[in-house]
Amino acid sequence: MSNYHIMDDAIYKDMLEKAKADYIASQQKLGAHAREIELLEERISGLRETIFALSRMLRAEPFEEADALGLTDAIRQAYRTHGGPLVPTDVRARLESMGYDTGKYGNLMASVHSIIGRLEKRGEIRSSGTIGGKPAHVWVPKTLIEQFGQGVAEGMAGAAGESPYGALAGIAEQMSDINKESASLAIAAEERKKAKKP
């Protein structure tokens, strides 16, 4: 082999290592931004609830937020920031507590049911049984591969000695157990409420 080929290989190996390092740094940056977005959504949701509550308390003009989100995004945000199962009427109550003007929609509950079906088909929410005989759904956090990229999931799986999908399946199973427990707690709370009613 000539020195020319050795030099070319060394240059390409150096380029490969730089590309790998840049890839990992970019994945980490993406993960940090994803967490920042999540925190901002939670803050916006909390601020919206605070504005709505204070406006009602002071009998002030309702806060008219530019409806940039739309109903689908509002329902998506209601599930994402709630942290547990919601039935359709809970979704409506959650939207109202977040300050959304639900009165501007003609048949809100029909729209809520339709949007829940679409979000479930897309895998953004999933069924978590029933609460009070009504179908309940919970937010499905993005998988590590979707949120942080294939490289991060592979790195995590490599540390555990399994495939990325095996590692994610284990996490999904744990999340499913947590969601089942949350649904059970919500059902028990609902039954306690019913028992207290005269």
Residue 195, pLDDT above cutoff 80? no
- Tell me, yes or no, whether 151 lies in a domain: yes
| 169 or 92, which is more confident | 92
pLDDT at 91: 94
Spatial neighbors of 171 by CB under 8 A, at least 6 apart, are 144
Average the pLDDT over 4-24 and give the result: 80
- Tally the domains of the chain: 1
55 in a domain, yes or no?
Answer: yes
Residues above pLDDT 70, as percent of the chain: 65
* Cβ neighbours, 10 Å, residue 90: 21
**Distances, alpha carbon 188 to alpha carbons 36, 84, 137, 193, 194, in Å:** 34, 14, 17, 9, 10
Q: Is residue 74 part of a domain?
A: yes
In a domain? residue 141: yes
Indicate whether 88 pLDDT > 60.
yes
Which pLDDT score, from 0 to 100, does residue 22 have? 87
Q: Which of 42-51, 92-101, 183-192: highest mean pLDDT? A: 92-101
pLDDT at 154 over 70: no
Q: Is residue 182 part of a domain?
A: yes
Which two structure tokens, joined as six digits, stand for 114?
A: 């339709």
In order of 33, 156, 158, the CA distances from 26 in angstroms are 11, 16, 19
pLDDT at 79: 92
* Full-model pTM: 0.47
Residue 39 is assigned to a structural domain of this protein: yes
> For position 27, what pLDDT does the model report?
82
Residue 55 has pLDDT above 70, yes or no: yes
Tens-digit pLDDT profile for residues 166-179? 445 555 555 555 55
Range of the domain at 88: 3-190
- Residue at 149 is within a domain: yes
What is the pLDDT averaged over residues 137-157? 61
In a domain, 197, yes or no: no
pLDDT for residue 162 is more than 50: no
HEC profile for the chain? CCHHHHHHHHHHHHHHHHHHHHHHHHHHHHHHHHHHHHHHHHHHHHHHHHHHHHHHHHCCCCCCCCCCCHHHHHHHHHHHHHCCCECHHHHHHHHHHCCCCHHHCCCHHHHHHHHHHHHHHCCCEEEEEEECCEEEEEECCCCHHHHHCHHHHHHHHHHHCCCHHHHHHHHHHHHHHHHHHHHHHHHHHHHHHHHHCC
- Residue 133: per-residue pLDDT: 92
pLDDT at 141: 81
